Chain A
Amino acid sequence: MARITLDHLAHAYKANPRTAEDYALKEINHVWSQGGAYALLGPSGCGKTTLLNIISGLVRPTRGRVLFDDLDVTDLSTEARNIAQVFQFPVVYDTMTVRENLAFPLKNRNVPRDRTARRVEEIAGLLDLTRVLDRKASNLTADMKQKISLGRGLVRPDVAAILFDEPLTVIDPHLKWQLRSTLKEIHRALDITMIYVTHDQTEALTFADKVVVMHDGAVVQTGIPEELFERPTHTFVGHFIGSPGMNILPCRVEGTTAFIGSTMISLKRAYRTLSDGEHIELGIRPEFVRLQPKGAGLPVQVRRIDDIGRTRIARVEMNGRPLAASIPDDISIEGSEASLVLDPNHVHIYANGHLVAGEATGGHAA
C-alpha cells in the first residue's frame, strides 16, 4: 500500500536527448494517491506504456525520481518494488496449473507453503477461478488468462499498486464489461492503487475515479470524468474525449465576443486581448450545440445527419468549417438550411491549445 509520486520524471529512449522531441515522456510531476483507481488515457504512442514501465521498474527513467510513499525506488529492481502488472496479451506459465500460476510469485519469494495455499484459494475465490484451479493455464480463454495474470499480482499481500497495460485488448466484447466490473469490485474490496492504461475512453471513464490524459509524451489534463467532459483544459482532451469530439474552430476574441470569420459569438466570460502570435480557438462540445430550423442563431448548411442510437448528430458547415451539432428530439430538419444555437456556458476559448480562463462577467445570452 503506497502513494506513488512521480517527481520531475522524464524519459528518452535515445542516448543524450537534447530537444523536447527526443523525449518519449516529457517532464511529469504527479501523485497517485493510495487506493485510487486511475486511468491513463491517450492515443497509441503517447508514452503511456513507457510511464507504466517506469513505475513498475521495467524501464529506468532518464531523469527524475519515482517515490513509493517517501521511499525513492527509482533504482530499485522490478522484483523489489511490490508492483504487479497485467499486460496487453495475457501472460500465463503454460506448463503450470492455474493454482501453480497463482502460487508462483509467492513460491519465488519463499512464502511458507500453507500460507501460499490459503492465499491462492482466497484470490481464486475473488476472481471466480476456483473451479479451474487444477486445470492447466495454457488452454483457458483469454479473459481467464487475464484473470490469472491479475491474480498473480493480487496474491502478493504486500503489493503497492497494480498496473494494467490495455488489459482488455484481446478480450471478447461481451466479456470486457464483466472483467471490468470484476476489476472495480476488486478495487473496492482490496483498497489497492490501480493504474489502468488504455486508449479507449469508455474503458477509462467507466473504470477510473480519476483520468490522466496523455498526449505526445506529456500529461495534458488530470481530472474526474465530468471535468474532462465539461471543462477540457486542452483542445486535445476536448477532441479525444467525447464521441464525436469537441468542435474546435479558429477564431478571434475581443473582450466578450468571439469572431469566427464574420460570425459573432457572445461569450459568458471576458478575455484579455489575446495577442496575435497566439493561435486562438473556440471549443464547444456537440452536446451543447443545438440545431434549429432556419431562423434565429448562426446560419449553417446541413451536410449529413448521423443517427447514433440515443441521439442524432448533424454534420454541418458554418462559413465552410465543419461542425457537429446535436438535434433535439422534437425537431425535424427539412432542406439543408438550418441554424445553430450555442450554449454560452459551455463555450471555451483556447490559446495555443490551452484553455484560457477568462473573467466572469454578468453574462449576456447569445
Chain B
Amino acid sequence: MTKTLNNRAWFFVLPVFAIVAFSAILPLMTVVNYSVQDTFGNNQFFWNGIGWFQELLDPSSQLGEQFLSSLMRTLLFSAIILLIQVPLGIAVALSMPREGWPVALCLVLMALPLLIPWNVVGTIWQVFARGDIGLLGWTVNSLGIDYNYTGDPIDAWVTIIVMDVWHWTSLVALLCYAGLKSIPDAYYQAARIDGASRWAVFRTIQLPKMRRVLLIAVLLRFMDSFMIYTEPFVLTGGGPGNATTFLSIDLVKLALGQFDLGKAAAMSLVYNLIILAICWVFYTVMTNVDAERERVEA
C-alpha cells in the first residue's frame, strides 16, 4: 500500500490540537503543577517534589490509608456493578421483543432512567428508600426487615447498588439488544436445523455476536461506576461513617472541603492512571481474544 503524504493535513488537525490543549492538556498540567507543591493559602506555593505521591501510596500514612480504603471500596463497587449489570443486561436484551410495537415501548421505557439527571436519580432514591415516607423503605421495614440506609453500612451499599442497577442496566441491555438485532435470521434457522438447544444458541451464536458491544458496555460501565460521585453523594454523602466514601467523594472532600490542593492533585493523577490502566487491561484482554483467533487461522 502506498501512502499519500500531504503536509496540508496538519493544517486541518491544528484546530483540534488547539481545543484539546485548552480543554484537556492545560488543566491537566495545572493539576500536575499543584501535585508537586504545597500551599498554606494566600496563593503561596512551596515546592514539595514527589512528597504527596509518596504519602498517598504509603498505606501507613493517614492520607495513604484513607486513599487505599476508598480505592478498595470503589473497586469492590465497580466489580459488583459489572457482575450484576452485565449478565442482567444480557438477560434483559435476550427477553426483549424482536418486532412490532412492543419494541418501541420497551426501548422508550428502558431509555427513561438514562435520561434522568444524576443528582435527580440520587434524590429520587434518597426519598424512595427513606424509612418514614419513602415507598421502598417503608415497605421493607413493614415487612419486618430492619432497613435504614443512613445508619447501616450494608443497607447503604445495597441501596446504592440497587440504584445504580436501576439507573444503568438498560444501557447494557440496549447495547446488547443492538448486537442481537444484527444477527441474521438464517443463524437461528440453521441452529434449529442443527438441533441446537437454547443454551447452545446463546453460547455459539448470540454471545459471540455480542462480544464487541459487550466490550463497549463493560468499558463504559466500569469507567462510570469507578468514577461514580453524584448519586451516592446525594444519597448517603459518603456515609454512614466512611462506608460509601468512594474515591471521587474522597477527592472532592480533600480538594474542596479541606482545600488540600497538593494532595488532591496527586490523588487525581493516581486516580486517573488507575482508570486508564484498568480500561487498558479490559480492552487488551477482550480484543486479544479476537486477535488470538485470527492468529490461529493465519
Contacts and interface: CB of A to CB of B under 8 A. Distances in A.
Contacts of A53: 189
Nearest to A105: B194
Contacts of B209: 94
Contacts of A71: none
Interface string A54-67: 00101000000000
Interface stretch (A14-22, A117-125, A132-140, A316-324): A132-140
A119 B55 CA distance: 67
Given A93-B204, A93-B205, A96-B204, A138 B297 contact: yes
A136 B293 contact: yes
Given A93-B204, A93-B205, A136-B297, A152 B194 contact: yes
Interface of A: 53, 56, 58, 77-79, 83-85, 87-89, 91, 93-96, 104-105, 108-109, 135-136, 138-140, 149, 152-153
A51 to B, nearest CB: 15
Given A93-B205, A138-B293, A79 B189 contact: no
Contacts of A135: 296-297
A119 to B, nearest CB: 14
Interface in B190-235: 190, 192-197, 200, 204-205, 208-209
B184 A89 contact: yes
Contacts of A79: 192-195
Interface size class of B (residues with CB under 8 A): 20 to 34
B104 to A, nearest CB: 22
A362 B13 CA distance: 88
B130 to A, nearest CB: 48
20 contacts: A78-B189, A78-B193, A83-B193, A87-B186, A87-B190, A89-B186, A93-B208, A95-B204, A95-B293, A104-B194, A104-B204, A105-B194, A108-B194, A108-B195, A108-B196, A108-B200, A136-B296, A138-B293, A138-B297, A139-B294
A232 B189 CA distance: 35
Contact of A108 (B186, B197, B293, B297): B197
A88 B186 contact: yes
Contacts of B293: 95, 136, 138-139
B22 interface: no
B283 interface: no
A85 B204 contact: no
B297 A95 contact: no
Contacts of A78: 189, 192-193
A14 to B, nearest CB: 15
Given A53-B189, A93-B205, 16 more contacts: A56-B189, A58-B189, A78-B192, A79-B194, A84-B193, A85-B189, A85-B190, A87-B190, A91-B186, A96-B204, A105-B193, A108-B196, A136-B297, A138-B293, A138-B297, A139-B293
Interface in B271-297: 293-294, 296-297
A26 B68 CA distance: 74
A344 to B, nearest CB: 49
Contacts of A84: 193
A105 B195 CA distance: 6
A85 B187 CA distance: 11
Contact of A58 (B192, B195, B296): B192
A333 to B, nearest CB: 51
Contact of A149 (B184, B190, B204): B190
Contact of A95 (B186, B189, B197, B208): B208
A136 B294 CA distance: 8
Given A138-B293, A139-B294, A87 B189 contact: yes
Nearest to A159: B193
Most buried by A among B192, B194, B205, B294: B194
A105 B197 CA distance: 11
A108 B189 CA distance: 15
Interface string B169-200: 00000000000000010110110111111001
A68 to B, nearest CB: 15
A361 B179 CA distance: 69
B92 to A, nearest CB: 23
A58 B296 CA distance: 35
A123 to B, nearest CB: 14
Contacts of A136: 293, 296-297
Contacts of A152: 190, 194
A96 B294 CA distance: 12
A91 B195 contact: no
